[in-house]
Amino acid sequence: MTTFTPRYRPDRRNFLKATGIIAAGLTFLPRGALAEEEKKLNFYNWDTYIGENTLAQFQEASGIETKLDIFADTSELFAKLKGGNPGYDVIVPSGSWVQRMVGANMLMELDHSKIPNIANVDPAFMNPVFDQGRKHSLPYMWGTVGIGYRKSKIEGTPDSWKYFFGDSPYSGQISMLGDARNVIGAALKFLGYSLNSVNPDELKKAEELLIAHKKNIKVFAPDNGQDLLASGEVVIAQEWNGDILQVMGEDDDIGYVLPSEGGQVWEDTLAIAAGAPHPNNAHAFINFLLDAKVGAEIAEFIQYGSPNAAAKKLTTPEYQNNPAIFPTAEALAKCEPEAYLGEEGQKLFEEAWTRIQAA
């Protein structure tokens, strides 16, 4: 684990930036009282998704006090911002939601000149489908949705969705995630289709497959599949790799594998909500998170894959070579990112999901 030496004084670059911010404020904001942003920032993030001391370090480095608020899934974030921004600055939406939120004018365009640490980001992440040219979002963490399992209770490696959608010997001891896209997406992948399919026939087949094998599934667990696995409630769980990794650290008997048919590859991003009260602080914060040292510390603490090439270099070999964080190129090639399907497409998934749950 790399150690981080706290900086008690702002370094030269931060000092220059701070003066720059003040100057910009004086120039562009005629409202005198708002010339300098108050030293505050409202950060809306997932739970356990930031380094242990990151916010304190940011305060030491910049003098900006960060208030952290937590959401459980991006739909909650979306619903909260939908009626107007209640005061959040930096938010952490998932990739496909970035596209949806840009469509609804819910994100502020980023000023790349205020985020010099963009240079640290792996170029492979700089032009994703959901935000070409990275106008509205920058990558924070990435990972996969695959299969977590209890090694001692499973023969071999459950490296296929067939354990979910076949005559599974583990019927009734399996959990899946609790949202339409992930559950139906897994069935689509098993059938050999794209998880972004909006073809009614393909969706129908996926729905029928899920309903026919529903007895295999003990529970649709929104965000606690890893706990179910850890407590012995289930032996196989569809889960986010980082969540499984967090329980793998406490229990050697838990493993993670990508299904041979492919799973989802996802990315969470850093973005600034439209109407953010502290846009300059928000840019400074995003820049801070993309710092190599800071990024390395966060990534190692939360055990998710960092898209920050400079940060990755500073991490331990254990982290860099962890197959659950960085799968082989071959396994990754079969995975797909989730795209925004338009409101009609999303509705097809949601209605099928209601029918699957009620069946």
Partner 1 sequence: MESWRNNRFLFWLLTLPGAFWLALFFVAPLSVLWVYSFGAKSGITDIEITGTALNYLRALDPVYFQIMWKSLWISAIATFVCLVLAYPIAFAICFAPTRWKPVLLLITILPFWINLLIRTYALMAVFRTNGFVNQTLGGAWNFFDGLFTGGSFPYQPLQLLYNDGSVIAGLVYVYLPFMVLPLYATIERLDKSYLEASLDLGASQFRTLMSVTVPLTMPGIISGVLLVFIPCLGAFLTPALLGGANAIMIGNVIEAQFKSANDWPFGAALSFILIYATFGALALRWVLTRKSQGEGA
Q: Interface with partner 1 by CB under 8 A: which residues?
A: 73, 75-76, 78-79, 82, 100, 103-104, 106, 172, 178-180, 214, 217-220, 222, 231-233, 343, 346-347, 350, 353-355, 357-359
Q: Is 336 exposed, middle or buried, given 0-12, 13-18 or 19+ CB atoms closer than 10 A?
A: middle
Min separation Cβ 126 and partner 1, Å = 25
Of 107 and 311, nearer to partner 1 (C-beta) is: 107
Of 216 and 322, nearer to partner 1 (C-beta) is: 216
Min separation Cβ 346 and partner 1, Å = 7
Min separation Cβ 223 and partner 1, Å = 11
Of 116 and 232, nearer to partner 1 (C-beta) is: 232
Min separation Cβ 211 and partner 1, Å = 10
Distances (CA, A) of 284 to 26, 112, 114, 133, 279: 18, 11, 7, 20, 9
CB contact set of 275 (below 8 Å; sequence gap of 6+): 84, 85, 108
Of 222 and 249, nearer to partner 1 (C-beta) is: 222
Of 23 and 79, nearer to partner 1 (C-beta) is: 79
Of 82 and 204, nearer to partner 1 (C-beta) is: 82
Name residue, tokens 């979002």. 137
Min separation Cβ 319 and partner 1, Å = 31
CB contact set of 72 (below 8 Å; sequence gap of 6+): 46, 47, 222, 223
| CA pair distance 252, 269, nearest whole angstrom | 30
Q: What DSSP letter does each residue of 182-194 carry, written as one string?
A: HHHHHHHHHTTS-
Which pairing describes strands 264-272 and 138-150: parallel, antiparallel, or unpaired? Answer: antiparallel
Distances (CA, A) of 43 to 62, 256, 329, 338, 339: 15, 31, 34, 25, 25
Min separation Cβ 205 and partner 1, Å = 18
